[in-house]
Amino acid sequence: QVQLVESGGGLVQAGGSLRLSCAASGRTSSTNAMGWFRRTPGKEREFVAAIRWSGGSTAYADSVKGRFTISRDNAKNTVFLQMNNLKPEDTAVYYCAAGLLGSFSSYYNNQNYNYWGQGTQVTVSS
């Protein structure tokens, strides 16, 4: 099992920044990638970004490219999501996820991730 704990959410004005963290523990060796997803009421969980533990290749949703940056600290089993120039439409509960992913295209599908955190609320006011 892998446990994931997110932190760093909060309330920020449009144009501001937040940094989310996700600390992984347990059998992290059973995973090779981490991702961030978000969900707003009445909508499906939406892919935001993902990163491989080894090599650090990344993927981003078009809606966050150029504003969000995903990074990792392998020594601490922690993944970060730096969110800049936040917009009201970024308001959501953000979840981190871990899995053993195959091809690059698999990053985007939440069903490919085996482990999920509890989520952290991000609210962007206009």
Q: What is the pLDDT of residues 2-56, one digit of tens each?
A: 999 999 999 999 999 999 999 999 998 999 999 999 999 889 999 999 999 888 8
Residue 102 has pLDDT above 90, yes or no: no
pLDDT, position 54: 87
**CA-to-CA dists, residue 86 to 17, 46, 122, 123, angstroms:** 6, 16, 10, 9
- Token pair for residue 86? 């936040």
Residue 104 has pLDDT above 90, yes or no: no
pLDDT, position 105: 84
Q: Which helix H or strand E contains 70, and what residues bound it?
A: strand 68-73
Residue 103 has pLDDT above 90, yes or no: no
Chain-wide mean pLDDT for the chain? 95
